[in-house]
């Protein structure tokens, strides 16, 4: 599991760290951590629907922020729980482009008892950095 929850960051929020050897692996781990805050068993999310996600930003940290916000938006607007097994991040003219296919399904309260409802990603303590062994992010979610 390439993420862990941080219990002492904030009282009304949930915080986690996610990591990976590549930026893409770190983004996928952050997506799983986000979904795992809402549902206890990630394996219960069946890949019956596919959603294409395309985003762009000049800064990697704000690209991750936008990506996680998009997953929350799709949960709120379409009642979808999503997992993202693969992401491609490219750079052109100093702009980072993210392309991903998210897999998941509509929330089924019988199969997906919601633990908490994530409202948003916050910028409080939000960070992304490159380390010797890969990429690392800290994220605080408003619940």
pLDDT at 9 over 70: no
What integer pLDDT is reported at residue 113 of this predicted model? 86
Q: Which two tokens stand for residue 82?
A: 């999503």
Distance in angstroms between the alpha carbons of the first and the last residue of the chain: 22
Residue 76 DSSP code: H
Average pLDDT rounded to a whole number, residues 88-95:
96
Q: Which two tokens stand for residue 98?
A: 């993210």
Average pLDDT of every residue of the chain? 93
Strands 87-92 and 49-57: unpaired
- This model's pTM is above 0.85: yes
Alpha-carbon span 105 to 10, nearest angstrom: 30
pLDDT at 45 over 80: yes
């Amino acid at each position: 599991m390439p993420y862990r929850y941080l219990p002492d960051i904030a009282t009304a929020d949930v915080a986690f760290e996610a990591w990976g050897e590549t930026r893409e692996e770190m983004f996928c781990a952050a997506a799983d951590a986000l979904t795992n805050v809402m549902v206890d068993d990630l394996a219960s999310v069946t890949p019956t629907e596919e959603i294409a996600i395309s985003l762009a930003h000049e800064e990697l940290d704000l690209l991750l922020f936008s990506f996680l916000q998009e997953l929350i938006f799709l949960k709120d607007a379409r009642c979808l729980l999503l997992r993202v097994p693969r992401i491609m991040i490219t750079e052109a003219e100093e702009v980072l482009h993210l392309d991903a296919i998210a897999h998941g399904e509509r929330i089924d309260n019988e199969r997906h008892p919601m633990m908490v409802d994530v409202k948003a990603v916050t910028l409080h303590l939000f960070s992304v950095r490159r380390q010797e062994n890969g990429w690392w992010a800290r994220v605080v979610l408003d619940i």
